[in-house]
Chain A
Amino acid sequence: MSAAKKKSNATATKAPSAGDAIDDFQQTPINAGLSREDKCKLYRTILGIRRFEERSLQAYNQGKIGGFLHLYIGQEAVAAGVVSLMEENDHIITAYRDHGHALAVGMSMNECMAEMFGKHTGCSKGKGGSMHFFAPEKNYWGGHGIVAGQTPLGAGLAFALKYKGLKGCCICFLGDGAVNQGSFMETLNLVSLWGIPVVFVIENNGYSMGTSLARSSAEENLAHRADGFDIEWDVCEGHDVFEVREYANRAMSRAREEMKPFLLEIRTYRYRGHSVADANHEKYRTKEEIEEYKKNKDPINVLKEQLVADGSLTEESASKINLEVKTEADAAAKFAEQSPVAPRSEIQTDVYWEVDNDTNNSLKGTYFFND
């Protein structure tokens, strides 16, 4: 590889427009071992994210969800594929487009929907909202609203693994727009310098709000930036969950085994606007572009075809899964709707650990300053 000094050389990588070295990612070792059940589970996760978000969109349009709603529709195979590879000591953190990752790590539709409704039963008791889902017990550290603000945190989680001598990695997701934040650049240098097992996954959906990649990044091959920091990188497509798993597995294994960072760019696409409030999303891109992706690269259709072809799934079992996740999403909306808002006294809890836990450390002095 001449241009790409540090490009991962595990297997020939797909160049942006060149043909695949691997034509069936289902056959690579990490995927060949998947049972029928495993594959159906991937399908359920991807479909569940889609149905959940469609239901949340409906609730948003009914005025039941406030704030911003950044839908992940079109990108589902990325979170589902990467998360399916997580081991005990692996951690994950992402930005505000976080519903897919949350459901993939196993957060319930109920707690996620209720959070968006601002209810006490939400994963953050209604204190975080759509952009700020957390589940530390599932090694999921958010849900972060400031573009690239999560990237040093991801480095820190991985730093802690190294400090404690644990074998694992942290997967830190970010967008194609986020790569232009200084904090990310600083972090790339730091993790390479210190040998920190973090895998940065750039979910390149081609746009940061209304700005196309070409209009925001001077070097459109985002993964190449890793070269400047002596970090290994790779690029893959995000619509085929098996391809995602293949590349993510290489990156994660390398991070775990060699205590080194990795930068993986995954090319994907979002069907909806940047957030639901983005009514202009057919102005900065063409309808055809959207339709084209939906037709040829929809992660649900692609996976379904693969699974039907290999006998893992039938039309009937696919419909059954669809009905189940749809019912679950509807039930989550109902649960959210019927849940109470937290009492006003909750406004001032979860601010300080020492106060919440009523420790000796919190006995002295005033912590809150209302008249």
Chain B
Amino acid sequence: MPLITYREAIKQALDEEIQHDENVCIMGEEVAQYNGAYKVTEGLWEKYGDKRVIDTPISEAAFSGLAIGASCLGIRPVVEMMFMSFSYVAIDQLFNNASFCRYMSGGLMNVPIVVRGPANGGTNVGATHSHTPENMVANHPGLKVVCPSNAYDAKGLMKTAIRDNDPVFVMENTLLYGEKWEVPEEEYLIELGVANILREGSDLTIVAHGRCAMIALKAAKMLEEQHEISVDLVDLRSIRPLDETTILESVKKTGRALLVEENKPYCGVDAQISHLIQLKAFDYLDAPIHRVSAIDAPQIYAKELEDWQIPNEERIIEGALKCLA
């Protein structure tokens, strides 16, 4: 199986879906002639031209809303946010119109758009460019949100997101764009709402999503080697819909849970997961649930401090040891 980057995997997904459906088009700032701010769309404009790969002015509200309006008539726009942080100027369009038009029309409408782009910190760019809004998106019934942690998932989830008939946010990660994973050449899709067990173990469940799942994977190896703790690692992949079954089965097996995410802790995704576990697996728990999230402050600029602010192997190991204390 070829080893390709996360970036390349997403590009393949976009390329395949442009070919698969004539109504799929890509729009965003610098996506066409400049080849994408992070080169995710590199070469697509050259290959498909102005109709399918469209450069926009810096008007997130206008082009997000335009994508929603176009989707009413069957166009399937994939909107790139240069950073998910910039979607905040389009929140009315995304969180009112994309999420609620179907509901407010009593089911007469649907909005088949994809909103994609990097949603991560750890890049030494300060608070305005480091948002992880998957929790905010998930808080809006009508929206779906996925957070692929690796190239294989990124490709499969992106293709599913584009074919889905509801609005789907795909949260990417600039720190993963250059990392490589094995991705098959044959076409495949990954269903929404299905978590992935990255590692099987018996002492502790770690639930994570996005890049944190990859950090947790490294931490799990260290826990095994240094502390003889065997970790069952659940990578959520999809936040809404959520694979509750896989989470609960794992916790029932291990009796302990550590929840890891890059979100700020208050009202983060893992607050909901923690609630879920206590509600549906209370009798199986041998210890309180612990969480490792971003340290609860605006994203700090200073590199050394930011690397500590967001979850890293050391903080995950510390959290795991608390669960087993």
Contact = CB atoms under 8 A, between A and B. Distances in A.
Contacts of A350: 102-103, 105-107
B67 A156 contact: yes
Interface string B56-85: 110101111111111111110000000000
Interface residues of A, number: 61
Q: Which of B51, B73, B96 has the most CB of A within 10 A?
A: B73
Contact of A160 (B72, B97, B110): B72
Contact of B66 (A144, A161, A190, A357): A190
B69 A161 contact: no
A152 B101 CA distance: 14
A161 B57 contact: no
Contacts of B110: 353
B62 A183 contact: yes
A161 B101 CA distance: 20
Interface residues of B, number: 56
A142 B70 contact: no
Contacts of B160: 361
A335 B164 CA distance: 38
B265 to A, nearest CB: 19
Q: Which of A91, A132, A143 has the most CB of B within 10 A?
A: A132
Contacts of B272: 369
B57 A193 contact: yes
B244 interface: yes
B106 A156 contact: no
A351 B191 contact: no
A110 to B, nearest CB: 14
B229 interface: no
Interface string A340-371: 00000000011111101101011111111101
B69 A157 contact: yes
A183 B66 contact: no
A367 B73 contact: no
A164 interface: yes
A353 B103 CA distance: 10
Interface in A145-174: 145-146, 149, 151-161, 163-164, 170
B242 interface: yes
Contacts of A156: 65-72, 75
Contacts of A210: none
Given A136-B72, A146-B96, A152 B102 contact: no
Given A159-B66, A354-B164, A368 B141 contact: yes
Contacts of A160: 69-75
B238 interface: yes
Contacts of A190: 56-57, 59, 62-63, 66
B59 A189 contact: yes
A159 B70 contact: yes
Interface string B102-129: 1111111110100000000000000000
Contacts of B264: none
B238 to A, nearest CB: 6
A122 interface: yes
Contacts of B59: 186-187, 189-190
Contact of B69 (A137, A146, A153, A367): A153
Contacts of B288: none
A349 B141 CA distance: 11
B250 to A, nearest CB: 15
A134 interface: yes
Contact of B97 (A124, A153, A189, A359): A153
B258 interface: no
B193 interface: yes
Given A160-B73, A352-B166, A149 B93 contact: yes
Interface in B27-71: 51, 56-57, 59, 61-71
12 contacts: A136-B72, A153-B65, A153-B69, A156-B65, A161-B73, A189-B59, A353-B166, A354-B164, A357-B165, A361-B163, A361-B165, A367-B240
Interface of A: 91, 93, 122-128, 132, 134-137, 141-146, 149, 151-161, 163-164, 170, 182-183, 186-187, 189-190, 193, 349-354, 356-357, 359, 361-369, 371
